[in-house]
Chains A and B, each alone.
Chain A
């Protein structure tokens, strides 16, 4: 069975500064990887995903994440954050192949707060 660790529960950062939200996973097989964003009192929205191919994936609002198989990581980065990026961010993983242990597993979340 897979698991996901988000090392930082809270990340405060000043507007226009860079940010990295860390995500490490454990899994015995090849994986799909996702980042979701949750704004206050809303559901989760997919931010970006890695399914195959290029290990660097990007979102439409300037976030990017890099799949590092050797370090089993999928860290989320943005070079310059805005106030509107304030939200909770969840990393998720699922095994590529079927089996009784397969499911979409979420990390505990990282609250990103962008300060003026």
Chain B
């Protein structure tokens, strides 16, 4: 069982470039999330999807968009990357919204 799979694991972007972070889960979970992790700040919620077909903003949504492609997949898009978006991004899923979440291995993104 793979759990939550994120791609890519590492990425370097130039300011202004765009990219999409991919996430897929094989646990038949209804809810999926995107967090970013910065030193000393814990994890902050970017966007979430309570169920297939719905998405909502979290604490820090500016500069990001998401797509819940189907029940398994939830992608995060940076339309015009900025150095402030340098971070480690984690995708997570849970069977029920806001309960025990299972995390992917993370994507380390550097914007130069």
Binding site for B on A (CB under 8 A): 4, 9, 32, 34, 36, 41-46, 49, 51, 90, 94-95, 98, 102-109
- State the main secondary structure of chain B at its contact with A: loop
Whether A9 touches B98, Cβ cut-off 8 Å, given contacts A43-B104, A45-B103, is: no
Binding site for A on B (CB under 8 A): 4, 33, 35, 40-45, 48, 58-59, 90, 92, 97-106
Closest CB in chain A relative to B10 CB, distance in Å: 10
Contact B98 A107 (CB under 8 A): no
Cross-chain contact of A108 among B40, B45, B58, B97 (Cβ < 8 A): B40
Given contacts A94-B98, A103-B45, 14 further A-B contacts (CB under 8 A): A32-B98, A36-B103, A43-B90, A43-B103, A43-B104, A43-B105, A44-B43, A90-B42, A95-B98, A104-B33, A104-B99, A104-B101, A106-B35, A109-B40
Closest CB in chain A relative to B1 CB, distance in Å: 14
How distant is the Cα of A109 from the Cα of B99 in the complex, in angstroms?
19
How distant is the Cα of A36 from the Cα of B45 in the complex, in angstroms?
16
11 contacts between A and B (CB under 8 A): A4-B42, A32-B98, A34-B100, A43-B90, A43-B104, A103-B58, A103-B59, A105-B45, A106-B42, A107-B42, A109-B42
Contact A106 B100 (CB under 8 A): no
Contact A108 B99 (CB under 8 A): no
Contact B43 A106 (CB under 8 A): yes
How distant is the Cα of A79 from the Cα of B98 in the complex, in angstroms?
30
Contact B40 A102 (CB under 8 A): no
Cross-chain contact of A44 among B40, B58, B90 (Cβ < 8 A): B90
Considering the complex, give the chain B residue whose CB is closest to the CB of A90: B42
Q: Which of B41, B92, B100, B105 is packed against the most chain A CB atoms within 10 Å?
A: B100
How distant is the Cα of A42 from the Cα of B99 in the complex, in angstroms?
21
